Amino acid sequence: MHCFYLQTSIIFQVWSFITISASYGAKWTYTGPDGEDHWYKHYPFCRGPFQSPIDFEPELLRYDPTLVPVEVRNYNLSSHEQLTLSNNGHSVQLSLPPRMQLSGLPHLYSAVQLHLHWGSPSLPPGSEHTVNGRRFAAELHVVHFNSDRYPNISMAADKSDGLAVLGVLIEIGEFNPAFNQFLKYLNGVKYKDQRIQISAFNIRGLLPAHLNEYYRYDGSLTTPPCYASVLWTVFKNPVTISEKQFLALATSVFSSSQQESAPVVLNGNYRKPQNSENRIVLVSFQEGLHGTPTVTPAHLRRKVIQHLLAGEPSDVDEEQLPPKFNQKQGPGKMWADRKSQNSLGPSAPKQKGQQSVKMGDGSSLGPTFRKNSKTASHMGKPGLFQDSLCYSTLEKKVYRQLKKANAEHQLAEALREVLFPELNVRSYLACRSELALPTIMFLLRGQPLEKAAELDNLPVKDNHRSKKRNTVNKLDPTHTTQAGQRQATIQKNTQNQARPRPVLLGWEWED
């Protein structure tokens, strides 16, 4: 169920902020005691799955021949129009009119703002995304929200299908007249919270000349609150700015306000690469990528999921499966690997009767959380086949369950447990991730049999349905009958109550 947003009720908005442990106005920086390693304490999704940025390393890439050139509309703005240039203490940001649009995606997206991430004079590389380990001098982000489904950025920012961001890698080279259209005004936004009006210009000039070569993947905001709500498109070909233009960025603006006695220069404002977590990166190009495999077709993925949901993975023709499916690894191997990498993902499938929820630090929420939590199961909403997830509503639900178990401090780990399988299966079906067969079997534990038909409007066999209506509580690949046959279950979907959600003000999010 979609979240309700009550624009006219200030009391309701304030209540939304204080009912969960996350403080959406909490101070954060890139280094120090409020640095990115500590973001999750106030913004638990920053320790969640599908985080950005990532490194575009060769083994993650899959060529997708269906990707079309990026299409931008109304980017050539008139110089008679005014835009707001501001310093929010984390970046320099330029407002954009919503008639600027991004098409060619599952939805139409309208522009909101653009901003930059950059390095420092002593350490110039400061892009967020990296290519095979290489970091560029800076990175431009042009932020859009899903205007097909949501009225504004505040409504879209915490939805799983809410945002689309164009990323432009920047290296030091030739002078860039398009970037100078706003960089020349940096002295007007030298300090935090300063803003000025500047003349609009052709935003298209900030992008690479050709928009047909890019990386695309499912990810998150790279700043708090780190919602996994972004469909990223990062262009392969970088643009250039001159050394003088780069130094203007790295030396002219401050992250502190004008009233503070000790100004702090704003630079090095980039987040470190995050774990790819089996996500793959789609690429629209093949040049320079020797031996890069083609992405697995969507129809085959749906077929695999259908068989798994019906409890009969043996029916899948292994000769038709992509290479990773044919790897004969045990069901727990991936989770063991994740644990060895200090990951916070789920552990190996539990035996029947186990109740506790294991967290990343080895502790457990115990049976109380498992018994009372509707979100701990992958059955209820938000669920695998719901249109979109509302992260702020999910956070409130999980926090309430944790509070009953006196485990509020484990909010980040609990949210991760709920979202990791959810986002993985969604991304897999959208051909933007790749998972081994045992992993998918684990992720789909507990899904109702009828949901298999919803994937492609294909009926599930009647005899399958009748056999499994009165079986055990979970679809558990580790549980078998005396005859050695797998058992499936049908568990009723429970409808979540819609809750008011925190209002994201303009200065509280970057990407």
Which positions are annotated as active-site residues? 90
Q: Is residue 104 helix, strand or coil?
A: coil
Tell me the CA distances in angstroms from 434 to 31, 169, 209, 401, one per residue in order. 33, 26, 31, 32
The distance in angstroms from the start CA to the end CA of the chain is: 25
Q: What is the phi/psi pair of residue 393, to 5°?
A: -65, -45
* Coil, helix or strand at residue 419: helix
Whether the bond between 151 and the residue before it is cis, its omega within 30 degrees of 0, is no
The amino acid at 288: G
For the chain, what percentages of helix, strand and coil (3-state, to nearest 5) are there? 30, 20, 55
**Spatial distance between the Cα atoms of 40 and 343, rounded to a whole number of angstroms:** 14
Q: Show Cβ contacts of residue 48 under 8 Å, excluding neighbours closer than 6 positions.
A: 220, 226, 228, 412, 415, 416, 419
Per-residue tokens: 244: 């003088």
Residue in the structure block whose two tokens are 């457990």: 364
DSSP 293: P
Q: Which amino acid, one-letter code, is at 472? A: V
- Label the pairing between strands 61-63 and 109-118: unpaired
The strand pairing partners of 166, in sequence order, are 142, 233
DSSP state of 45: G
